[in-house]
Amino acid sequence: MNHTLAVGIHDLSFATSHYQMNHSELARKYGVDLDKYRIGIGQSSMSVTAADEDIVTMAAEAAKPIVDRHGAADIRTVLLATETGVDQAKSAGVYVHSLLGLPSSARVVELKQACYGATAALQFAAALVHREPSQRVLVIATDIAKYELGSPGEATQGAAAAAMLVSADPAILRIESPSGLFAADIMDFWRPNYRSTALVDGKTSITAYLQAVEGAWKDYVEQGGRPAAEFSAFCYHQPFTKMASKAHRHLAECSNLDGAAHEILGAVHNTTIYNRSIGNSYTASLYLGLASLLDHSRDLADQHIALFSYGSGSVAEFFGATVVPGYGAQLRTAAHRRAIERRTPIDYAHYRALHERTIPVDGGDYELPEEGSGPYRLAAVSGHKRIYEPRMPRR
């Protein structure tokens, strides 16, 4: 293995849903002050999937611009991370592989560990490229965060997919070693097989997250990582954007990082812009934060940024990366902003109908209404099989 080879993110793209609901709708429904959401948890709206959208259609939409730009010939591995899986056996990535027309000479795998899964995929991809520098790995994080109506988690819901092309000599971000790791068996958030919505112990989850920040940072230091002061920005997993500032304040205490309160908030602000509007996207959340940082910051060339990935249950990782000079030419800032701005606003009644909608599980034939606007759709379920297809242009 070539340990001196630069490996990292060569391209980055994300997609979100067709619909969005403003948190003012929730505030009206529950008779609460809007600031409970906008200030209390740092959220302004949430992405809501249409009837014919799911993790596969969003994943394919996020990855399509990458394949269109770079081609598919060198992609020999697809790693899809999700905690919203559509099948207990078949990887959702296989559907994506087919929709994108990727080569048959490929390995396709789905990874799961709550919101941490995409970081595992990224690190596994980097190891594969180190072993064989001529290949590229497509990493996709895709999720729909869904909680029971009226529950504390409802306001944090969202949906998105982030796709990354991992390669040697990357154009955007070089991933550094070492990583700081942390794992603990904690029931802070989970979703049994028999449930369509997650269960969460909010107070335990925040405590577990901060415990993981401290544990992963401690291991990072012991492994010989950089001093915290060398990082120009910090990206955190964001179950809600206020959590990024909570996490960074805790890291500042653990690492003796100097800074006033406004400086602590400023260090993470640019990472929260997209997530504030989209909501939680589980595995994709950290990498939407990375895209937001790159799209909204002044030149970060040659600067070091820190990334903290947390997955309830729990597993966490703290690692560093260096921004590659000229990275701006690879960014998709305009496309990312369009993805958010083009969502169709809906009211609470429409959102509730979508939230309560379920696909029958009796193995019968069911066509799904055409609602979304992305390039791919879930067209039908027949004989217990999900049928995906490119969306036909509307007249």
By annotation, the residues acting in catalysis are 83, 115, 237
Amino acid, res. 211: Q
Strand ordering across the sheet containing 158-168: 107-111, 75-81, 136-145, 158-168, 7-16, 173-183, 315-323, 304-311, 231-236
Alpha-carbon distances of 91 from 80, 295, 334, 356, rounded to whole Å: 8, 31, 31, 25
* Nearest residue to 245 (alpha-carbon basis) of 271, 219, 212: 271
Measure Cα distances from 259 to 52, 273, 290 in Å: 47, 22, 22
User: d(Cα 189, Cα 377) in Å, to the nearest integer?
Assistant: 29
- What phi and psi, each to the nearest 5 degrees, are found at residue 381? -125, 125
Residues 141, 132: Cα–Cα separation, whole Å: 23
Distances (CA, A) of 191 to 77, 184, 333: 28, 17, 34
107-125: string of b/e by CB count within 10 Å (b at 16+)?
Answer: ebebbebbbbbbbbbbbbb
What sign has the CA pseudo-torsion 2, 141, 80, 152? positive
